[in-house]
Copies of this chain bind each other. A is one copy, B any other.
Amino acid sequence: MRSNDGSDGDGSGGDGGAAGFEASLVAAGVTFDGRDATLLRAIADAGSVSGAASELGRSRARALSRLETLEDAFGDLVERRRGGADGGGSRLTRGARALLARFDRLAAALAGTAGAAESVFEGVVEGRDGELAVVDTDAGSLRALAVGDPDPAAGDRVQVSVRADAVTLHDPDGTPSADATSARNRFPGDAIGVDRGDAVVDVRVDVGAEEPLAALVTVDSADRLGLHEGGAVVASFKATATRATRSKAAGDADERTE
């Protein structure tokens, strides 16, 4: 099992490179990326395609052409008016605003995902229960959502990932609530890393796997638990917040070239 800290040194070059990643929406073979979002926003701000193109240092013909391509794939995005007061103008459709919102959410989700440490377990699927898979890992048996194409079947080697922000920590002597908590994956272990921020704490828990399980909790929670390095703790996370994907095969062919 490995912990992946999403901000581990991608470098900071390039236009979108501050974050080290980019996300885009795809439909009908057309990609809606940050450049397209910028164009739509500039149109909304300027109230016209010509104003937006000028602002962005782009050719109006190309901007219009791009809008047509995007509209073919994503539906109407810009209402364009020729003549009239102000000579004409353009405004975003509801569809455009929805598309931008979706793009923003994707970007935010990615930023949230990339910024959140994620623990990865290696394991083997022991069985399936509908959308859930029971996976045997070094830390013990756990339940996870089977995702990917194709999703993992019994016997498959999988990688199980869980975000640090999905992990809840408990006092090992506490009485677990009888309601939803018994549907959670639970692992007792020892806190081997406790890094305090202003209001949140990064915790690493040795649950018996190769590498520690990462948890992100509030300072309030940590204090309430009396959390300290070396102390015993119980980590839990929902089955539905746990993902199992089939392990990828890259590198298997290396032995052939030796």
| Chain A residues engaging chain B, CB cutoff 8 angstroms | 4, 10-11, 13-31, 40-41, 44-47, 73, 86, 89-92, 97, 100-102, 104-106, 108-115, 118, 120, 129-132, 143, 145, 147-149, 159, 161, 163-166, 168-171, 174-183, 197-200, 216-221, 224-225, 238-241, 243, 245, 248-254, 256-257
**B130 touching A105, Cβ below 8 Å:** no
**B31 touching A13, Cβ below 8 Å:** no
**B27 touching A111, Cβ below 8 Å:** no
Q: 9 interchain pairs (CB within 8 A)?
A: A22-B26, A44-B254, A47-B257, A91-B254, A112-B147, A129-B198, A175-B177, A179-B225, A183-B221
Contact of A17 with B26 at beta-carbon distance under 8 Å, contacts A183-B224, A199-B129 already known: yes
**A40 touching B250, Cβ below 8 Å:** yes
Residues of chain B lying within 8 A (CB to CB) of residue A17: 26-29
Contact of A198 with B130 at beta-carbon distance under 8 Å, contacts A27-B14, A28-B13 already known: yes
Chain B: CB-nearest residue to A88: B257
Chain B: CB-nearest residue to A85: B257
